[in-house]
Each structure stands twice: as structure tokens, then as C-alpha cells.
Amino acid sequence: MGRPLRPGSPIAAVPQDHEADIWEALAADLRDAIGASLFDVWLSSLDLVSYDGRQLVLAAPSATRDWVADRFGGVLASAAARVLGQQVDVRIATDDDRSTHGGARNERRSNEDEDHQPPPPHPTAGLNPKLTFEQFVIGSENRFAHAAALAVAENPGTAYNPLFLCGPPGVGKTHLLHSIGDYLERHGTGSTLVTTTAEAFANEFIAAVRQRRTAGFKARYRHTDVLLVDDVQFLMEKTRTEEEFFHTFNALRDDGAQIVLTSDRSPRELDGLHDRLRDRFASGLVVAIDEPGIDTRLAVLRKRAALDAVAISDESLLAIAERVPTNLRNLEAALIRLVAASSLTGRALDPRLVDDVLGDAPGTAFAAADPQTTIDAIQNAACEAFAITRDELLSSSRAARISWPRQLAMYLAREHTDQSLPAIGERFGGRGHTTVLHACRRVAERIEHDAEARDLVRRLSTSLSTSQPAIPDDRRD
């Protein structure tokens, strides 16, 4: 095989046996054009069937062929023109064409059989050990939800099925979901358990279709005793994934399995879903969790301070609770920020420090934008903390020493500026809003379990407010 081509190199005269070179160059151009995540999900499975100088034929799995043609037809044509040095007709064929004409990568796929492929890793990342019933703070806003979740944990498949917990972000839905899983693992009778998110379910389903592993995917999700799914609103506007989840839901219900779902809105408000799935969601017990009142917020702060051995007065805790009125995650983050500010400045954890760090106006949330903090400042702080260059931070590198600082910087940009997710993504090398959202979730999960990561977030947050350096003790990935 000849020397690999670079995107933009005209290859109209390249012999037919160099189709692999053409695809390699085209794939590189497409990855740059639409981003690695979209390419990996939708276009990486394409094969180059043929190129005769006028027409480029690509084969896609039959399940995704129409979607690829409709969604990415223009992108593929533009990329082909750049790579081939001329306008060509791009046709998206099906797998039948792949077997008829062959393809640059067809040989290594020809003997694959779904029933003999090894199963991919299990979709769930596991339970968060900190999200248990013992750690859940009960208030008037969530008492019914807690009682329902405990009843399901004690009698799965018989109490309420499905149990649908809904409410705005940060009110404890995920905590109760994981608490059910934790209870079953510690006190259950060997029941199988799958804990996942709707986003993870969708991503694995897409991968299973692309890799022809749908039988294994269905077996894993439909042969479990308990299914816990977070953020089911993610299924909206995803027709094929919604269809698969509908059949999974029915199969589990028919087998008597317990289903627990969470969402940021009630089933009737999930207007992006088909009526039949919304009816399934509403067929069990739907429990709404309201935003926490001042008493609940104060109780959460007291428990967190006790767990972290933080000496702080009720007066100071009340001052924090008054400034973070809705989101329990932001409430705990505010306490972390106060402790960091006290540690770095030597000031007492008193209401005056609360005013200085969180702002004087009631209702000012921890995540509210600081007009003095810019994305540039956040990026510079991340580069300094991890001894990397700005070019590396904004690059497409997925190396751990680069991806963790990048995710952390995105998280801080979300917390400390008023920029939208798309705006933040644009400042980080033109990434999409889903990439930023994923980064924020990954950082939030990591600081839950990793004390060093949590301490670094404290120091960086404080340095952005006080202009003090925040170099970590150990610049580890």
C-alpha cells in the first residue's frame, strides 16, 4: 500500500487499490470537521466501497444508513471534495453493497458474526458509595420521595413499579436512585442490578447497532431484576433509542423486574417522547421533589460540615443557606468554597466571610457568575496548575494529562461565568455543548470520590477569586 494521504491532497488519479488511503484521509478530515465524538458514533463504521474518479460510494450499516445520508450527506460531500481535490458524487450505500463490491476495510469484517462477538463492557459505571439512605437528608420537600424509594428498595417489583422521581436539578433524585441500588446490594437476595443513565443507554445502543451487537445489548438490559435509569428526559427526540427503551421497559415489566427512573420533569411534560412511553412512565408512582426549603438546606449543610469535620457556626451555615436557595449540589459546593477561602486566607468561617465569598445579595448561588472571572483566566489557571500549554489545553488530544485539565477548566467556566454551554465549548477549541456537559458531569463525579481533585477545585476556585496561585501538590493526571 502506498503512502497515506493527507486531508486536502488531490487523489483523483490514485489507483483503485488505494481505497484504504482515501478512506484514511477522508476519515481524518471528517473527524476535524464534525468533532471526534460525532464521528465515532455515526461515521466511524462507514466503509469505502468504491471510487471511480466521479462517484464515491460509502457503505453504512443498514440500521443507520438513512440517518447518516440525511444528517451528514452535505458534510461527506464537502469532505470528499477537500480530500479528492474535486467535486464528486457521494452515495451512501447499505451493507449489501459492502458484500457485493467489497471495501477498503471489508476483509476484516467479512467473517464477523454477532453471536460470536465478545460482549462489550457493561454499561453501568456502578453506584456512588456516598449516595446512600443514611446520607440522605429528609425534609418536607422530599419526605414522600424518600419513603417511596425505601419501600422499593425493601420490596423491589412489588411496591411501586415503575417509581418515577422528578424535580429540578440538585434536589436529590440521583441520590435516592443510587440509595436504592446501594440498599439492594447490601441487603438484597442476589438480585441482578443495572444502574445507568439515559445518555449511557442511548450511546451503548447506538454502538450496538453500529457494531451489530444488538442481541447482546438486549440481553444485558432485559435480563436484570432491577433497572435504575437517571435523567430519562435525555431520550426525548431520539426516536430509535426511545423505541428500544420502550421494548426494554415492557420486557422488564412483563418479567416482574423493578424499574426506577428519574427526570427533571414529570412524564406529562416529556413532550418530546411518544405518548405510549409517557403512559408507561406514569403507570406506576410518580413523585415530585420540590426545591429544598431553608430548613432542609440548613440540615444538609450541618450534615456535610459534620462529615467533613468542619467547625462552623449555625449562623454561618444559615448565611450560606440563604444565598443558595435551590440546588443542593451548589449548596455543598458553596461550603467547600468557604472552607477553601478560610484555609487560604486565614480568616474565620463567619458570616462576614460568607458575604465576601458568596456575595451580599440573598439568593446569590455558588455557581452565579463572577464578573471578574473570564474563561481566559480559567484556562490560564488550569494551564499553570498542570504545567501544560494553552495549545495543549485546547487541542484534540485525549491523553489523560490533557483531558483532565480541560474537563476541569470547562467545569470551572460553567461554575464561575455566565457563559452558556455552547459558548464555553466554542472557547475550548470549538467543542459542542454536549462535550461541555459531559466534562462537567465527569468532574462533579470525580470530586465526589477523589479528595485530591476536590482540594484542587477548592484551590482553583479560590485563586480565581483572590488571584492567588493554585498549583497542586502533585500534578498527576
As a whole-number percent, the residues of the chain with pLDDT over 90 amount to: 19
All three cell numbers of 142, joined, read 422530599
Torsion of CA 233, 236, 241, 247, to 10 degrees: 70
Instruction: Return the pLDDT at 100.
Output: 45
Q: Which residue has the cell 434536589?
A: 171
Q: Mind listing the pLDDT tens digit for each residue in 350-390?
A: 888 888 777 643 333 334 434 457 888 899 889 988 989 99
Classify the phi-psi angles of 35: left when phi > 0, otherwise alpha if psi is within -120 to 50, otherwise beta: left
**Band (128; pLDDT cuts 50, 70, 90):** confident
Q: How far apart are CA 200 and CA 188, in angstroms?
A: 25
Contact (CB, 8 A) for 358 and 334:
yes
d(CA 375, CA 378): 5
* Residue closest to 393 by CA, chosen among 401, 384, 385, 402: 402
User: Domains plus CATH for the chain?
Assistant: 16-106 (3.30.300.180), 143-288 (3.40.50.300), 294-358 (1.10.8.60), 375-466 (1.10.1750.10)
Asked whether the predicted pLDDT for residue 401 surpasses 70, the reply is: yes
Residue 49 has pLDDT above 70, yes or no: yes
In angstroms, the CA 433 to CA 268 distance is 26
Query: What is the CB neighbour count within 10 angstroms for residue 360?
Result: 9
Q: pLDDT per residue over 24-33, tens digit each?
A: 888 888 877 7
- Residue 336 CA to residue 465 CA, distance in Å, equals 14
The neighbour count for residue 51, using CB atoms within 10 Å, is 24
Per-residue model confidence (pLDDT) at position 359: 65
Task: Pick the more confident residue, 386 or 414.
Answer: 386
Tell me: pLDDT of 199 over 50: yes
Helix (H, G, I), strand (E, B) or coil at 363: coil
Average model confidence (pLDDT) across the chain = 78
3-state secondary structure of 284: coil
If one counts every other C-beta atom within 10 angstroms of the C-beta of residue 22, the result is 22
| Pairing, β 193-197 against β 47-51 | unpaired
Q: Are the beta carbons of 59 and 98 closer than 8 angstroms?
A: yes
pLDDT at residue 273 tops 60: yes
Average the pLDDT over each of 174-183, 225-234, 365-374 and give the range with the smallest value: 365-374
Question: Full-prediction pTM beyond 0.75?
Answer: no
